[in-house]
Amino acid sequence: MTAALVAGLLAGYGIAIPVGAVATYLVSLTARTSLRTGACAALGVATADGLYALLAALGGTALAAAMRPILEPLRWASALVLLALAVRGAVTALRQYYARRLTSRPRQDPVGPARAYVALLGITLLNPTTVVYFTALVLGSRTDEAVTPLEQAVFVLAAFLASASWQLLLAGGGALLGRALTGHRGRLVTGLLSSAVIAVLAALTLEPSHLLAGFRQ
């Protein structure tokens, strides 16, 4: 039981802590909206990680073999989605900047909590890094010892909670960043910088050697 708990926590933090395009977008989204919206987006990311952890716990090596043929399509889909987010973020930042220069009336951000949750859930499910991570986890952890359903449940729950705790921490950082950058120019610079970083990370997603570097040991 303890081994399953520790393995789940390590798996959850292992995929959550490295800062990539999803984390960058999460922080930027929270800074532009609210902590509530960012928290829902964070739970969307954690839900996707939890689903992959569940598949890894139940599917075994059959899951790993099934995932390999779809890594390339997922890589392209993820890159396109991230590029679309980068463009949308830059356009939104510019639009809000010029709109607030013309009027002092605040405009409500169109991204609500429910939409943020669904969006980040979908983005993370498409993220090939997540797929590769849990595939490698499955291939590296299969043993001849039987794993009970309770241990599988503990592993999945621990992975979800670990990912959720880190994503919520990122959302909190984004909320603090949003409060610090109260000026229109500050938010514009943050939005454009975030879009640029996401675009670069999207391009790196298409580099197989970059994607798989962490699993060639």
Kindly give, in sequence order, each residue whose CB lies less than 8 Å from that of residue 217, ignoring residues fewer than 6 positions away: none
In tens, the pLDDT along 53-102 reads 887 777 655 665 666 677 677 677 767 776 887 787 788 778 777 776 65
What pLDDT is attached to residue 29? Answer: 86
| Model pLDDT for residues 146-187, shown as the tens digit of each residue | 567 888 888 889 989 999 999 999 999 888 877 766 566 666
Q: Is the pTM of this model over 0.75?
A: no
pLDDT of residue 214: 41
Instruction: Supply the pLDDT for residue 175.
Output: 87
**Are the beta carbons of 84 and 160 closer than 8 angstroms?**
no
pLDDT for 63 equals: 60
- Evaluate if residue 18 carries a pLDDT over 90: no
Q: Would you list the domain boundaries of the chain?
A: 2-215
In tens, the pLDDT along 119-152 reads 999 988 887 667 667 666 655 554 445 567 888 8
CB neighbourhood size of 54 (10 A): 18
Contact criterion met (CB below 8 Å) for 130 and 15: yes
How far is residue 45's CA from residue 122's CA, in Å, rounded to a whole number? 8
